[in-house]
Structure 1
Amino acid sequence: MVAADALILQFPLWWFGMPAILKGWIDRVFAYGLAYGYRGEGNRYRYGDGGLSGKRAILSVTVGDRITADRIAAAKEAWRIRLKGLFEEEPIPFRPQNGGDYPDGHVLASHIAMGETGLTAHVAKTRNAAGD
């Protein structure tokens, strides 16, 4: 995992989450020392500062549906294009945990991202649909 440039997890959606066997693998691989406990500091190094800093990751989640051959072909092409740009695209600039935006290390400061909710509040620079 440490030597990998990218992590791609592909799995079927199972009861609104990943299958238990994948969850177990993540619990073991991301165990103390890599994702939690990095540098012996508990959860101090998260959100871009931890053991996976600089790595790329992408999820491919499948769900059940009746699907036509045309839709399968379109999905394959979209996935091919997405993977082709995996190392060229700018990463999502999530706010670092230790950069001052989370004074207690867990909760976003009240003066940061005022009026924003959800995931977008934790992105340092808002990107538009074109990716600018």
Structure 2
Amino acid sequence: MLKSCRMVAADALILQFPLWWFGMPAILKGWIDRVFAYGLAYGYRGEGNRYRYGDGGLSGKRAILSVTVGDRITADRIAAAKEAWRIRLKGLFEEEPIPFRPQNGGDYPDGHVLASHIAMGETGLTAHVAKTRNAAGD
């Protein structure tokens, strides 16, 4: 519970981990399962009012992943990667977040499946990113 309270109080969450067998290490997965608990990151409010991505106790929080993979690189490339990371973190609160579609916004009517009339012809992750309108309303 203390970790959940700390997460709610935090302005941002940075998860840094090595890629193991195409995913995060099991110990981190277990931590996420315990901390992103029912009632904080997902669940129900009131009579059947589901909340999923875009709602809940972490709504409006910033998050970023830093995933490392095994490689042999030079000291110069390490220094360049560290500098790029410093620049990225400096802008964490100024960058526009990726506008993923909220799951309760009508685009995912049942079972976390994107409605067939949304993002027709798009595949992969881009189908789940909401298109933003410009000032002219296009």
TM-score range, shorter chain: 0.7 to 0.9
Q: CA RMSD in A?
A: 3.7
Residues 78 and 43 of structure 1: is their aligned pair in 2 closer, same or farther, counting only changes over 3 Å? farther
Kept in 1: contact 2:43–2:52 (CA 8 A) = no
CA contact (8 A) 2:14 2:66 kept: yes
**How far does residue 118 in structure 1 lie from its aligned partner after superposition?**
1.0
Structure 2 CA distance for partners of 1:96 and 1:86, relative to 1, 3 Å: same
Deviation at 1:36, TM superposition (A): 2.5
**Cα distance, 1:44 vs structure 2:** 2.3
**CA 1:128/1:19 → structure 2, altered by over 3 Å: closer, same or farther?**
farther
Q: Following the alignment from structure 1 to structure 2, what is the Cα–Cα distance between the partners of residues 124 and 33?
A: 26
2:114 counterpart (73, 96, 108): 108
Q: Relative to 1, partners in 2 of residues 1:68 and 1:87: Cα closer, same or farther, differing over 3 Å?
A: same
Q: 1:124 to 1:28 in 2, by over 3 A?
A: same
Deviation, 1:43, is: 8.9
Contact 1:94 1:124 in 2 (8 A): yes
- Kept in 1, the 8 Å contact 2:40–2:56? The answer is yes
SS of residue matched to 1:44: strand
Per the TM alignment, residue 100 of structure 1 is displaced from its structure 2 partner at its CA by 1.4
Residues 30-89 of structure 1: CA deviation (Å, up to 9, x unaligned)? 121111325367892122112210000001111111110110011001101110110001
In the superposition, relative to structure 1, how do residues 40 and 34 fare at CA in structure 2: closer, same or farther (>3 Å)?
farther
Match of 2:43 in 1: 37
Q: Matches of 1:65 and 1:71 in 2, distance apart?
A: 11
How many pairs does the alignment contain? 132
Instruction: Give TM-score, length-normalised by structure 2.
Output: 0.84
Within 1, Cα distance between the matches of 2:119 and 2:133?
14
Alpha-carbon distance in 2 for matches of 1:62, 1:97: 29
